[in-house]
Structure 1
Amino acid sequence: MSTDTEAILAGVRTWAEVNDVPVDSIEDEEIVVTLPGEKKLKTNVAISVFARTAHLQAFVIRHPDENSAEFNRWLLQKNLKPGPVAFAIDSLGDVYLRASVPREHLLDELDGLLGAMLATADSSFNELLLIGFLTGMKKEWAWRVGRGESTRNLAAFEKVLSGDDNEYLGTFGDADSESPAVTADRESEGAAQAEEPAGETGAAPGPTGESAGQSASKDSTDDQGQCLRL
């Protein structure tokens, strides 16, 4: 690892300390920072420094349970808007945000890039949940209501889940001990990592997130996977 790369990673650590942002891990060419959000409780961003470029990647949400065509269409439409970050999916359909800059510009642009990643992940999370996981959320809401459990983790969706359109209301009771909880913020088992850009060296990042109302995040790898730009 060159001194220059060490200096870049040290600059990222300094940014994290100044902004009171946790650093999850540090490797020779990568550092992972955890950004707190509102709708999505946290977004882990892996920052990897290669020979010529620096890459940022953040896991957003796992592949949808339903409405995959509408789900991916939404992502494609968002990618039409100009900005420093873009959505990508891996071979299983799990969703990431990615950005790349020349390595010498990373520290100058770091604040703006991380801010854009956090804002995009946070603002998109609930919309993607409604498109790709609505049935699961209906079931979880009905289960919680039927057992007298708190619905706090789904409070943002109360208008959608508590009305007559929720066909699962009244189908759960105290005897249903196993929760049908939605875990959309967990990477799939065997989820693919982003493939290293051509001509660069070093491992590609694959951060995970934390589920709103749950702590079910985990890291996973797949040697055959490639992160596909939508």
Structure 2
Amino acid sequence: MNPDGLAAVLTDLDVPTQRHGDAFLVTLPGERRHRTLVWLALGRYELLVESFVCRAPDEHHAEVYRYLLQRNARLRSVAYTLDAAGDIHLVGRLGRDTLTAAEIDTVLGVVLDASDTDFNPILERGFTEAIRREWDWRSSTGQSLQNLQAFRHLIDPG
């Protein structure tokens, strides 16, 4: 598949896309995460798929990494990895000569589902204390706790 073919597929999928030469930045709407950004970069022989998921955890690194490694066993086309700073990404490589519209749709779906499904479990494991501090600060200043409700069990385990 050539860059124009990939652009056509992304247009047909009706996903917001910005083109940068042979690379495309796709924005996918989420439920737990507001959005997931996915880079699709056409190389000579492959399509690189990459999406930032979360910054490096503040705490319980081993628990976070165990979760990610166990999740990798259930993912198709992409896997969790860490960059040099320890930030968490989903990365995959697909053979350029085997790309189809259905495969691109599938890999975008896998990235969105994994990123959206795993976001809160990653935060719960790697940012418990930060979530508690944020909850306390918002409570003490009268700020909304709406987008922290998914973590209420970390504040009030009973």
Q: Is the 8 A contact 2:138 2:145 kept in 1?
A: yes
Over residues 151-195 of structure 1, what are the superposed CA-to-partner deviations in whole Å (9 max), with x where a residue is unaligned? 11212112322x278xxxxxxxxxxxxxxxxxxxxxxxxxxxxxx
Distance between the aligned counterparts of 2:134 and 2:12, measured in 1? 39
Match of 1:106 in 2: 99
Matched, 1:144 2:138: yes
Q: Is the 8 A contact 2:82 2:88 kept in 1?
A: yes
Q: Which has the higher strand share?
A: 2
Uncovered stretches (5+) of structure 1, i.e. residues with no partner: 166-230
TM-score scaled by length of structure 2: 0.91
The alpha carbon displacement at 1:83 in A equals 1.9
The alpha carbon displacement at 1:84 in A equals 1.6
- One of 60, 63, 66 as aligned partner of 1:67: 60
Higher Cα Rg, which structure:
1
Uncovered stretches (5+) of structure 2, i.e. residues with no partner: none
Deviates more, 1:48-57 or 1:82-91: 82-91
The alpha carbon displacement at 1:107 in A equals 3.2
Distance between the aligned counterparts of 2:75 and 2:119, measured in 1? 19
Q: Which has the higher helix share?
A: 2
**Amino acid corresponding to residue 118 of structure 1 in structure 2:** L
Percent identity for Structure 1 against Structure 2: 34
The alpha carbon displacement at 1:82 in A equals 5.1
Distance between the aligned counterparts of 2:61 and 2:149, measured in 1? 24
Match of 2:147 in 1: 153
- One of 84, 87, 92 as aligned partner of 1:91: 84
Distance between the aligned counterparts of 1:20 and 1:28, measured in 2? 19
TM-score scaled by length of structure 1: 0.64
Aligned 1:51-66 pairs, distance under 5 A:
51-66=44-59
**Amino acid corresponding to residue 115 of structure 2 in structure 1:** A
The alpha carbon displacement at 1:46 in A equals 0.5
Over residues 49-93 of structure 1, what are the superposed CA-to-partner deviations in whole Å (9 max), with x where a residue is unaligned? 111111100000000011111111111111223522110101111
Q: Is the 8 A contact 1:53 1:102 kept in 2?
A: yes
